[in-house]
Structure formats: C-alpha cells, structure tokens
C-alpha cells in the first residue's frame, strides 16, 4: 500500500533516483496492472502470454503487487480437470477509490474497487454556492464511504470548465464559478488525507468510455459532452489529447452564429453551446413558459410533453452535427461518442444528428467513423482517472 501514497508528494522527482533494475521491475508491475485493467482477471500464465514477459518476471511483479495490496487472488474454481490456476485481479475486497463529479446543480460521489466496479449506490448532493461549502459537502459525502475494513487509496474529481493540468487548478468555469482559481483535488485530498487528481470533465468522460464503456477496444476516439455546456475529449493512440496545459477540447466556444448570437458564459456571443446544450434548451423553455426553467429541469419537462420543444431540438440536431463533422474531419477518429441527456427527450435525435453529420463530413472520414451514444459517466471517469494515477505512481510514464 505504500506505493500509492507517493502520488501527491512529488513522486515524479522521487523516481529519477531509482536504480535501473528496480525501475524495470516497477515498469513490469505497471504493465501487469494495465493488463488487468484492460482484460479483467488473468492467471499468471495468461499474463505471461499477453505481456510477452517471462514467467519469473511476471511472478515477481505479481508478488510485489500482492504485497502492495493493489491486486488480489481470486478463489480458484474447480473445473474437474486438475488443479485450476488462480486468477489475479485488481484489488476490490479491501480497497477502494472515490470518484466525484462536480456540476452546476449537483455533484455525484461514488466508490469503486480498483476494477472500477461500484461498491454501493452513487450519492447525489446539491452543489452549494461557495467553494468552502463545496469542500465541506464533498468531504462529508466521501467520508460516508470511508468505512472500517476498506482502505481508500485515492479520490478523482471531474470538473467542468478550464482546468490547468500542470497545476491542477480550475481556471474558468462559467457553470461552477466558485471553483475558479482553486485546486479542488489538492484541497479535498488534504482534508481526506488521500492522494487526489483533478480531471477536466470531457477528459474524464474519455477515460470512462475507454475503461468501462464502448471504447475498450478503440485507440482513437472522441467524446462530445453536450450538457450544461459543450465539451470535447479526444483520445489518440490510447492517450488523452489534453493540449499544452490541459485546455484542449473547448469546442463549445466555437462561433457558429457570427451575427446576432446570444451571449455565452465565456463573454463571447454566438458560441456553439448557446445553441446546443441543456442550458440553451432551458432558455427556450423559459421563453415559452414565461418562467425561469433550469437546465436540469428542462429534460423532464420536455420528455413529459409539458413543453413542446421539438422544433428547437431539430435545430439543435443540425448544430450538433457541425461539431461532430468538425471533430471527424480534424481528428479522423474511429468513433465519436455523444454524451447528452437530450436524446432522452426524443430517441431518434441521434439518428438526425448522424444524418446531418454525413452531409457535412468528408465521405471517407465519415465512412470510417462510428457515431453512438456514450455509455460512461463523469464519476466513472473520475474513478478511472485516480486508478490511472495510482497505476502511474507505481512506475514513471515513459514518453
Ligand atoms: Zn463561449
């Protein structure tokens, strides 16, 4: 367990003093962790086959990871043909990580084993107005999961808006402005005495789709998040594309209405998210109903036909296709996954988006790209993020 505690205390600097043999050993351990995350439980012989490492090397790496508490052995099940080989899996019996998704109206808090499987129902708490209150609410919700007998190894936090990946600082979040200038992972990690990582929410969705959703076998894909705003996460060659300082993916602030567009939270006018988002739909609903409708309220209102927004949704399908077509033309992904509650209102909305996208994408690029609804969630991405950070803390990432 000592290995995971290196995460937030300058472990990258610490690793450069390692001797070469122990560095190789740790790289092997990280490879075993990555294989178990990708394939699920494996016997040592299966790890040898998949990794290409020698049997003694795998045995040594697994023993070290067992001692560290990061993996555990499954009960061997009798097959009736000789002694079955015990499988090794990512630890879940006595260890857990926490995943937190912060959003404009609510935050979600979840606990999972290192295999990403949730331990209990996800908690939803109301997002308070101040940063101090936010930390207090999240600390209380996290502590409900931190029970005796289960060691909590770390916490991942997903945050909307601009997040500087170099400093872990929220820079500009129009929808959760109380986090601007703050370091929620450092502050909450300090309160809980846990290693912690902060992820921009679109990047979190990419990790969720990669580890627990539809992208488990896909190296090059994008996730478009259409919720309070519009964000983009891109994974190329199995690596997150974050940009110079983590600010990549702000496709929601691409101008799509150059003349007379509505004011966006960023200060500009005519941004994509002023015409495609829960917030944009809520604005239309407010106009029609003559009262203020919140973004988290409009989906239920429209789904229950308490307000007719079919013309507005049709227009949104066209605007959303502009974003999907741009992503396909620019990145040539094998898949674009769309994460949005808007398709809960009209199930054929996704088909209309795909149709419009086809009209606006270069045909060879469109033909190679699958477009589907994302399965992962932001709290799952936060869970995947802290597990990845713990795995990276076992050995440095060689780039
Ligand atoms: Zn904007």
Query: Tell me, what's the pLDDT at 350?
Result: 96
CA 266 / ligand 1 centre spacing (Å): 4
Residue 394 lies in a domain: no
> How far apart, in whole angstroms, are the C-alpha atoms of residue 372 and residue 369?
10
Q: What is the DSSP letter of 323?
A: H
Residue 398 lies in a domain: no
Query: Domain range for residue 55?
Result: 2-92
CA 257 / ligand 1 centre spacing (Å): 11
Residue 55 lies in a domain: yes
CA 306 / ligand 1 centre spacing (Å): 29
Residues 25 and 101 placed together within one structural domain of the fold: no
CA 68 / ligand 1 centre spacing (Å): 46
Q: How, if at all, do strands 370-373 and 230-236 pair?
A: unpaired
Residue 80 lies in a domain: yes
> How far apart, in whole angstroms, are the C-alpha atoms of residue 285 and residue 291?
8
Residues 7 and 135 placed together within one structural domain of the fold: no
CA 45 / ligand 1 centre spacing (Å): 53
CA 229 / ligand 1 centre spacing (Å): 9
Mark which of 71, 92, 113 sits at the end of a domain. Answer: 92
**pLDDT tens-digit readout, 104-129:** 889 999 999 999 999 989 999 999 99
Residues 195 and 244 placed together within one structural domain of the fold: no
> How far apart, in whole angstroms, are the C-alpha atoms of residue 102 and residue 395?
29
Q: Which residues are placed with Cβ below 5 angstroms of ligand 1, an ion?
A: 253, 264, 266, 268, 271
Residue 115 lies in a domain: yes
Residues 117 and 168 placed together within one structural domain of the fold: yes
Query: Tell me, what's the pLDDT at 25?
Result: 81
Residue 133 lies in a domain: yes
Residues 260 and 364 placed together within one structural domain of the fold: yes
Q: Count of domains in the chain?
A: 3
**pLDDT tens-digit readout, 182-215:** 999 999 999 999 999 999 999 999 999 999 999 9
> How far apart, in whole angstroms, are the C-alpha atoms of residue 131 and residue 129?
7
CA 73 / ligand 1 centre spacing (Å): 50
CA 13 / ligand 1 centre spacing (Å): 38
How does residue 6 score in pLDDT terms, banded at 50, 70 and 90? very low
CA 254 / ligand 1 centre spacing (Å): 7
Residues 369 and 253 placed together within one structural domain of the fold: yes
CA 251 / ligand 1 centre spacing (Å): 9
Residue 399 lies in a domain: no
CA 253 / ligand 1 centre spacing (Å): 4
CA 269 / ligand 1 centre spacing (Å): 7
How does residue 172 score in pLDDT terms, banded at 50, 70 and 90? confident
Would you say the C-alpha torsion 257, 252, 363, 376 has a positive or negative sign?
negative
CA 53 / ligand 1 centre spacing (Å): 49
CB neighbours of residue 178 within 10 Å: 17
> How far apart, in whole angstroms, are the C-alpha atoms of residue 256 and residue 247?
20
Mark which of 41, 71, 92 sits at the end of a domain. Answer: 92
How does residue 5 score in pLDDT terms, banded at 50, 70 and 90? very low
Q: What is the DSSP letter of 290?
A: T
Domain CATH code at residue 189: 3.30.420.40
Residue 397 lies in a domain: no
> How far apart, in whole angstroms, are the C-alpha atoms of residue 169 and residue 296?
26
Mark which of 43, 77, 92 sits at the end of a domain. Answer: 92
> How far apart, in whole angstroms, are the C-alpha atoms of residue 185 and residue 197?
5
**pLDDT tens-digit readout, 294-322:** 888 999 999 999 999 999 999 999 999 99
Burial class (CB in 10 A: 0-12, 13-18, 19+), 21: exposed
CA 313 / ligand 1 centre spacing (Å): 20
Where is average pLDDT lowest: 32-41, 110-119, 232-241? 32-41
Concatenate the DSSP letters of all residues of 99-161 into one string.
Answer: EEEE-SSEEEEEEE-TT--BSSPPEEEE--SSHHHHHHHHHHHHHHH--TT-EEEEEEEEESS
Residues 220 and 369 placed together within one structural domain of the fold: yes
Q: Check: CB of residue 284 under 8 Å from CB of residue 291.
A: no
Where is average pLDDT lowest: 167-181, 343-357, 374-388? 167-181
**Helix, strand, coil % over all residues of the chain, rounded to 5:** 45, 20, 35
CA 267 / ligand 1 centre spacing (Å): 6
Residues 133 and 54 placed together within one structural domain of the fold: no
Mean pLDDT, range 51-70, rounded to an integer: 92
Mean pLDDT, range 77-104, rounded to an integer: 84
What rounded mean pLDDT belongs to the chain?
89
CA 91 / ligand 1 centre spacing (Å): 42
Residues 100 and 88 placed together within one structural domain of the fold: no
Query: Tell me, what's the pLDDT at 175?
Result: 80
**pLDDT tens-digit readout, 63-76:** 999 998 899 998 76
CA 252 / ligand 1 centre spacing (Å): 6
Concatenate the DSSP letters of all residues of 27-88 into one string.
Answer: HHHHHHHHHHHHH-SEEHHHHHHHH---HHHHHHHHHHHHHHTSEEEPPPPP-SSSPPPPEE
CA 256 / ligand 1 centre spacing (Å): 10
Domain CATH code at residue 23: 1.10.10.10
Residues 186 and 218 placed together within one structural domain of the fold: no
Residues 18 and 164 placed together within one structural domain of the fold: no
Residues 80 and 169 placed together within one structural domain of the fold: no
CA 271 / ligand 1 centre spacing (Å): 5
Burial class (CB in 10 A: 0-12, 13-18, 19+), 266: middle
CA 173 / ligand 1 centre spacing (Å): 11
């Amino acid at each position: 367990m000592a290995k995971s505690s290196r995460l937030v205390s300058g472990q990258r600097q610490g690793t450069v003093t390692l001797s070469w043999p122990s560095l190789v050993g740790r790289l092997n351990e990280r490879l075993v962790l990555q294989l178990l995350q990708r394939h699920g439980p494996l016997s040592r012989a299966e790890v040898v086959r998949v990794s290409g490492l020698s049997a003694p090397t795998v045995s040594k790496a697994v023993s070290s990871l067992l001692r560290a508490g990061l993996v555990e052995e499954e009960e061997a099940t009798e097959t009736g043909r000789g002694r079955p080989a015990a499988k090794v899996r990512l630890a879940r019996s006595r260890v857990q990580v926490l995943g937190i998704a912060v959003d404009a109206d609510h935050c979600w808090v979840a606990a999972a084993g290192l295999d990403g499987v949730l331990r209990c129902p996800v908690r939803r708490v109301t997002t308070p107005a101040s940063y101090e209150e936010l930390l207090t609410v999240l600390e209380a919700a996290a502590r409900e999961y931190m029970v005796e007998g289960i060691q909590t190894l770390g916490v991942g936090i997903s945050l909307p808006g601009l997040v500087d990946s170099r400093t872990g600082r929220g820079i500009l979040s129009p929808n959760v402005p109380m986090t601007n200038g703050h370091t929620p992972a450092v502050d909450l990690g300090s309160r809980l005495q846990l290693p912690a990582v902060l992820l921009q929410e679109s990047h979190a969705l990419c990790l969720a789709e990669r580890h627990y959703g539809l992208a488990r076998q896909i190296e090059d894909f994008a996730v478009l998040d259409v919720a309070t705003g519009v964000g983009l996460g891109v994974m190329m060659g199995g690596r997150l594309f974050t940009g110079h300082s983590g600010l990549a993916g702000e496709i929601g602030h691409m101008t799509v209405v150059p003349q007379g567009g509505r004011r966006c939270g960023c200060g500009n006018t005519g941004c994509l998210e002023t015409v495609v988002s829960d917030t944009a739909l809520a604005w239309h609903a407010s106009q029609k109903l003559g009262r203020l409708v919140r973004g988290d309220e409009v989906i239920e209102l429209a789904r229950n036909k308490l307000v007719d927004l079919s013309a507005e949704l049709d227009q949104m399908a066209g605007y959303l296709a502009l974003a999907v077509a741009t992503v396909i033309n620019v990145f040539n992904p094998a898949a674009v996954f769309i994460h949005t509650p808007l398709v809960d209102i009209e199930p054929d909305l996704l088909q209309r988006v795909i149709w419009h996208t086809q009209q606006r994408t270069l045909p060879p690029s469109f033909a190679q790209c699958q477009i589907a609804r994302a399965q992962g969630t932001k709290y799952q991405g936060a869970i995947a993020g802290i597990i990845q950070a713990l795995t990276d803390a076992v050995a440095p990432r060689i780039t």
